[in-house]
Structure formats: structure tokens, C-alpha cells
Amino acid sequence: YINTFPYNGENVMLELKLDIVGDEFDYFVIQEGALTHTGLAKELLFDYDRFPEFKDKIIYMPLFDFWCKQPEL
């Protein structure tokens, strides 16, 4: 089983999720955008070292571009 999780620095929420359902899933796909919702660049915050017991189960996917562009106003 695979669980996906959009991430934006919510370490406490991710820790709770991994602690509660960590044994129920084979992998956790964590997605983090490198852009804000307004299209500005932002720092990626996810750190594998914060979750060492789940390192083999985490697939981290930083997103550098979005397929859906915002209309110009």
C-alpha cells in the first residue's frame, strides 16, 4: 500500500501520521512544491534525517514546476 502526503513544513503532522499508520503502508510518497501558490520560489523544507526510522519507506518528490499555470490578471 502507498500513502501520499502533500508537505509544506508540517513536521508534527507528518510525525503523527508516520507514528500512527507507519506499519500499515509500504511507502509514503511525500510531495513538496518549490513554488508558492502565487508562483514565487520557496525553500524546500523536507529533511529525511528527521524521520530516520521511515527512511526506507519515504519517497520524496519535490515539485519544481506545475502543469497548470495561473491565468494572468
Upper half-sphere CA count for residue 61 (Cβ side, 13 Å): 12
pLDDT at 54: 95
pLDDT digits (tens), the chain, 73 positions: 999 989 999 999 999 999 999 999 999 999 999 988 787 889 999 999 999 999 999 999 999 876 666 666 6
pLDDT at 67: 63
For residue range 20-29, list pLDDT tens digits in order.
999 999 999 9
pLDDT at 70: 61
This prediction has a pTM of: 0.80
- Cβ–Cβ < 8 Å for 6, 29: no
